[in-house]
Chains A and B, each alone.
Chain A
Amino acid sequence: MLTPVPAISIQGVGKTFNPDSDGRIVALDGIDLDVDAQEFVSLIGPSGCGKSTLLRLIADLVTPTAGIVEVFGKPAHQARLDRDYGMVFQSAGLFSWRKVARNIELPLELMGWSKADREARSAEMLELVQLPEFGNHYPWQLSGGMQQRVAIARALSFKPRLLLMDEPFGALDEMTREHMQNELLELVAEVGTTVVFVTHSVSEATFLSDRVVVLSPRPGRIQEIIDVPLGDHRTEETREDEAYFKCATEVREALRRVGASS
């Protein structure tokens, strides 16, 4: 068998916005990062450090000004066209004019699935995110946490091998947030996806990730990569675990070293 291709391979990537004008912003510089299949990696750093930009580079929603981004061994652009990843944003971004089930079916519709297949899959996904009875509701009838679960179901509906998440729980209260984190881990374990997760919360990054990538303030560079060896089965108890605190402290100190106020 060949050496397994990493899920994501980023080599010497930089991104400069408005390169030719006075408003020139070097968002990212000299980023090298590999993410293995089924790995959970968080990007953390002070605001404006370019962590969201890095995620968008992987998603090919932003084009790098230097370096190469590969997803599953192909250029990010091709991976996007092949629909190799699902994406979740801070705002659930559900289409208010579509019922919940039809929101989940959106990517399937674009992929030309038949109606019956779409409906079967959305029902399955609603079950998975534990909202089986809400398929026929409109998004405004759901709470923020429920809407975000629908957004996750939509991102996973076509079973992509990669999930890109941009502060997906940022707008939720602490209780709902921890709840969603537990669920996300269960879901990811069940589906077996690779996850890249942008956050500014130390506890969130530590609880969720196999590795936490700490970025420096602008221009964003990778400052440190911290392993979080808390095992594959993390529960509520993990949050009170000595090892968890140790890892969280490590992340927090790394952030402090790069001069982040958080």
Chain B
Amino acid sequence: MTADTTSVAAGYTVPRRFGAVAPAVIAGVVLLALWELGVRAFGIREFVLPRPSSIGQALVDNWSTSEGVSTVSLRQAGWNTTVIAVSGLVVGVSLGVALALLASRYVRVGRTLTPFAVAANATPIVALAPIFNAWFGITSALSNQAVVVVVVFFPVFLNTARGLLEVEPSQIELMRSYGASDLSVLRQVRIPNAIPFFLTSLRLAAPLSVIAAIVAEYFGGPQDRLGPVITQNASFARYAEAWAAIVVASVVGLALFALAVGFERVAMPWRRPVDGQ
């Protein structure tokens, strides 16, 4: 009886030591150093590629007060863009999940919606930004939020719907053998089955929301956001400042991604640990 019990089951732990992230950190530092030295050694002009140290300086100088062409500090612009990205993310994810539930419950809804969703998912939705400006007003943050909502919606909807539908047939038969209702099947099988699919889409959607927000901001909306800060500084050849705003944008994107990954650990305690994650 115990023959096959010894080799498994000890319980695995996720490595959380610094050793696990050290290679990435070292590579990052080396890359920055090479960048800095390369720009100096080859005499690359600052407007082509500013040195990391110049970008860092611009970041410090513009963090709490604007020194340059834009009227807003990087901190304020970063915060405003984060609000747009996160609010759009929340609405888009909620809509995606709600419609996925509907599509899995009513086959006809699913058959009607899914082809459109697949087509729309393959369309560059940020191209809609100027249209949304016309709909919601060019000075309104709503038009930027709408772009984020639409961009985030499709991957969440498609992935979650797949997770709700791609269930092991024997698990459905098992539930039926207990005379379980459709609602029980949804709660006990479909929803838990969809959680990993949903979390994967969330990982995609979180950084995507920042990209969508900034691209939408390029086309209009209030000027105190990262998008306009980048374009204004770039058009005045203040590239270090533009890069500093890009750094803020990537930090926000990374932070949202990290939140999504952290959420995954909490929401999926049964998750089988994978090396390097």
Contact = CB atoms under 8 A, between A and B. Distances in A.
Contact of A97 (B174, B178, B195): B195
A110 B170 contact: no
Given A141-B11, A145-B4, A146-B5, A95 B177 contact: no
A142 interface: yes
Contacts of B174: 87, 89, 93
Interface in A65-102: 80-83, 85-87, 89-91, 93, 95-99
A93 B4 contact: no
A93 B11 contact: no
B235 interface: no
A205 to B, nearest CB: 22
A83 B176 contact: no
A179 interface: yes
Contacts of B171: 93, 95
Nearest to A100: B9
Interface in B146-201: 168, 170-171, 173-180, 184, 188-189, 192-193, 195
Q: For A87, A130, A175, which residue has the most chain B Cβ atoms within 10 angstroms?
A: A87
B8 A93 contact: no
A15 to B, nearest CB: 16
Interface stretch (A32-40, A132-140, A222-230): A132-140
B175 to A, nearest CB: 8
Contact of A59 (B177, B184, B193, B268): B177
A110 B178 contact: yes
A107 B168 contact: no
A107 B178 CA distance: 7
Contacts of A96: 270
A25 interface: no
Contacts of A99: 270
A189 interface: no
A176 interface: yes
B195 A142 contact: no
A83 B173 contact: no
Q: For B9, B168, B189, B268, which residue has the most chain A Cβ atoms within 10 angstroms?
A: B9
A61 B176 contact: yes
Contact of B4 (A59, A97, A143): A143
A95 B188 contact: yes
Interface in A185-223: none
B184 A140 contact: no
A106 interface: yes
Interface string B1-37: 1011101110110000000000000000000000000
Contact of A179 (B1, B189, B272): B1
Contacts of B268: 97
A61 B173 contact: yes
Interface string B251-264: 00000000000000
Nearest to A56: B173
A111 to B, nearest CB: 8
A199 B193 CA distance: 29
Contacts of A145: 4
B136 to A, nearest CB: 40
B174 to A, nearest CB: 6
B177 A106 contact: no
A146 B4 contact: yes
B173 A89 contact: yes
Contacts of A137: 9, 11
Contacts of A131: 5
Interface of B: 1, 3-5, 7-9, 11-12, 168, 170-171, 173-180, 184, 188-189, 192-193, 195, 268, 270, 272
13 contacts: A59-B177, A87-B177, A90-B170, A91-B170, A93-B170, A93-B174, A97-B192, A97-B270, A99-B270, A110-B179, A138-B272, A143-B4, A183-B1
What 7 pairs between A and B have smallest CB-CB spacing? A93-B170, A97-B192, A89-B170, A81-B179, A87-B177, A143-B4, A138-B270
